[in-house]
C-alpha cells in the first residue's frame, strides 16, 4: 500500500469519534504505527503539516500534538548540560557505547523515562499524539523502547508513530532493513 493511501486512511481515522475517544479497541492501548518507505519522508512531512493545520483550528474538538523525539532528546541532554559531551563520547567510544549512555541518562528502560515524562507534561486529554523523529534518533534510542514505556503512562489518548520502515503487526524494521525488537501492541495504519 502506498504511503499516500496510508496517510489518507489516517486522515479518515482522525475524524472518527471512536478513534478520538479511544473506544472500540477491546481494552488495547490506542497506539498506531504508520510505517512508510523512507524515500517518502517529504510526502509524510508535507501531509503531517497539513493535517496539523486542519485539526488544530480553534473549532476542533481534538488537537494534534507532534513530538519529534530526536529534538526532545537533544533538549533533555542540553538541560542536563551534557549535549557537547555526546559528540566527544561518540568519537572516543563509538555509537553503541553512546547509545547505552543516552538510554541510561534518559532512563529509557524505566516506566517514567524522561522522553515519555516530557510528552506527558505537554499533553491534554483532548490531544492526539503524533510521534516523529524516529529515523533521526536511530540507533541512539529505538522505537520499541519508547513505545514499551510510553503505554504505561500515556494510555488514554491516541498515539500515532510515523515509522520510516516496515511494521508487520509484530516487529519493526527500521528503513526496511534493520530489525528492531518485537513490538506487537500497536495497530497498523493501512
Cβ–Cβ < 8 Å for 142, 180? yes
CB atoms within 10 A of CB 151: 18
pLDDT in single tens digits along all 190 residues of the chain: 899 999 999 999 998 888 887 765 555 668 899 999 999 999 999 999 999 998 888 777 788 999 999 999 999 999 999 888 888 899 999 999 999 999 999 998 887 789 999 999 999 888 999 999 999 998 898 888 888 888 878 888 899 999 999 888 777 888 766 666 666 678 888 8
3 state DSSP class of 144: helix
Helix 114-121 × helix 143-153 angle, to 10°: 50
What's the sign of the alpha-carbon dihedral 138, 8, 44, 56? negative
Contact predicate 42/83, CB 8 Å: no
User: What is the reported pLDDT for 29?
Assistant: 67
User: Which DSSP category does 63 fall into?
Assistant: E
Structural contact between residues 187 and 31, judged by C-beta atoms closer than 8 angstroms: yes
In this prediction, residue 95 carries a pLDDT of 92
SS3 state of residue 184: coil
Residues 6 or more apart from 92 whose CB is under 8 A from it? none
What would the grid cell of residue 58 be? 480553534
Mapped onto helix, strand or coil, the DSSP state of residue 113 is coil
pTM for this predicted structure: 0.90
Amino acid at each position: 500500500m502506498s504511503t499516500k493511501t496510508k496517510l489518507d486512511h489516517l486522515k479518515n481515522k482522525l475524524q472518527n469519534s471512536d478513534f478520538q475517544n479511544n473506544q472500540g479497541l477491546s481494552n488495547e492501548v490506542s497506539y498506531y504505527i504508520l510505517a512508510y518507505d523512507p524515500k517518502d519522508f517529504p510526502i509524510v512531512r508535507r501531509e503531517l503539516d497539513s493535517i496539523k493545520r486542519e485539526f488544530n483550528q480553534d473549532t476542533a474538538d481534538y488537537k494534534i500534538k507532534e513530538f519529534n523525539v530526536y529534538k526532545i532528546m537533544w533538549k533533555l541532554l542540553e538541560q542536563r548540560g551534557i549535549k557537547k559531551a555526546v559528540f566527544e563520547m561518540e568519537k572516543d567510544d563509538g555509537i553503541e557505547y553512546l547509545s547505552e549512555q543516552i538510554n541510561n541518562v534518559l532512563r529509557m528502560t524505566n516506566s517514567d523515562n524522561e522522553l515519555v515524562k516530557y510528552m506527558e507534561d505537554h499533553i491534554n486529554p483532548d490531544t492526539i499524539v503524533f510521534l516523529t523523529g524516529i529515523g533521526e534518533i536511530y540507533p541512539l534510542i529505538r522505537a520499541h523502547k519508547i513505545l514499551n514505556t510510553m503505554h504505561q503512562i500515556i494510555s488514554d489518548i491516541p498515539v500515532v508513530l510515523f515509522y520510516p520502515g516496515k511494521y508487520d503487526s509484530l516487529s519493526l524494521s527500521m528503513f526496511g532493513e534493520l530489525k528492531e525488537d518485537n513490538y506487537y501492541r500497536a495497530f497498523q495504519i493501512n
